[in-house]
Amino acid sequence: MKGIGIEEYGDISKLKIVEVPDHKLRPDEVRVAIRASGVNPVDWKIREGWLQRSFSYDFPLILGWDGAGKIIEVGEKVSTLRVGDDVYFRPEIEKQGTYANQIIVPACYVSLMPEGLSYAEAAALPLVSLTALQALVEFGQVIEGQKVLLLGGSGGIGTTAIQIAKALGAHVTTTTSSSNVDFVRALGADEVISYDRPTIPYHDCFDFVLDTLGGKAYMDAIAWLKPYGKLATIFGGPDDPRPISTLSDEKKLKIEYVFTRPDAANLNHIAQLVQMGKLKPIVSEMYPLSVKGVQRAHLSNQSGRTKGKIVLVNN
């Protein structure tokens, strides 16, 4: 299988066309011709070698862990998917990625694409919507009327989490720069905190916080949570050390690091939200799946200013 990846960790100059060995399909796997791949911060963090504590890869490594495409082969035990189906998925991050012409994935991670979406729109959804759903619903158990704070509302995670939290009936506050206030309000945010303007204190206000930023924002969020509130942090790698806070012990907060799990059942639920008009993918930038395209996509995402999602498309 051919794709864009690396043979060693480093900056964007290390990106190249790489070829990885193919294997015969196992009974529970499907082979997908990839049409589009979402770009996430984890892609360039892995390229830079920042996540070596958590993942050890064989090189060459095809990057990207968010895809949409067409099924071209199914294993003999797969009953839920057929050749010709348009699908979207987040494959296992420990394995080869989606910046490729095709990929082999266990069928239990693959779901039919939401109707009416392009491949690019569908590829923008899996990783961020699985993360938001698993943080808000599985860990947070957020319910109607609860007050949630979503840090970084204008990014890939934030734009998705705002819409999922609103679909759950929560009252949503989010943070962003003043230039993106109207953008996050249009997605459904009830209240917006501009991090570049003076902030009123929010002590003991929120039932749930989704932390995408770590550091000072994480510490502020601890003060802003109600006693017994919940905080899901997704910042950093699974094995990175987390900040220690005595205030979180005093307030008896429940804090958990959430790392996205691939899951077709969750993706089916996300497809329903799209079909009900409660969730729409926000694609702000598209690049061709080429070495140059990936370099531009990574540089853009590394700037920290991405609105919604960046997607790579196979021509």
Where does this chain bind ligand NAP (CB under 6 A)?
A: 40-42, 127-128, 131, 151-152, 154-158, 175-177, 180, 195, 212-213, 217, 234-235, 258-260, 301, 304-307
Compute how many other C-beta atoms are within 10 angstroms of the C-beta atom of residue 315: 7
**The tokens 């989606």 sit on which residue?**
98
CB of 12 to ligand NAP, least distance (A): 16
CB of 21 to ligand NAP, least distance (A): 28
Residue nearer to ligand NAP on the CB measure, 29 or 152 = 152
Of all residues in this chain, which one has the CB nearest to ligand NAP in the complex? 155
Residue nearer to ligand NAP on the CB measure, 71 or 157 = 157
Residue nearer to ligand NAP on the CB measure, 142 or 157 = 157
Q: 292 by DSSP, 3-state: which?
A: helix
Peptide bond into 288 cis (omega under 30): no
Q: Compute CA distances 178 → 161, 197, 206, whole Å.
A: 19, 7, 22
Residue nearer to ligand NAP on the CB measure, 102 or 175 = 175
Cα–Cα distance for residue pair 206/16, rounded to 1 Å: 45
CB of 271 to ligand NAP, least distance (A): 19
Cα–Cα distance for residue pair 237/289, rounded to 1 Å: 26
Q: 130 by DSSP, 3-state: which?
A: helix
Residue nearer to ligand NAP on the CB measure, 20 or 184 = 184
Residue nearer to ligand NAP on the CB measure, 78 or 234 = 234
CB of 260 to ligand NAP, least distance (A): 4
CB of 183 to ligand NAP, least distance (A): 8
Torsion of CA 298, 304, 310, 315, to 10 degrees: -20
Question: Please, what sign has the CA dihedral across residues 252, 155, 44, 97?
Answer: positive
Spatial contact of 274 and 268, defined as CB atoms under 8 Å apart: no
CB of 35 to ligand NAP, least distance (A): 21
Burial class (CB in 10 A: 0-12, 13-18, 19+), 173: buried
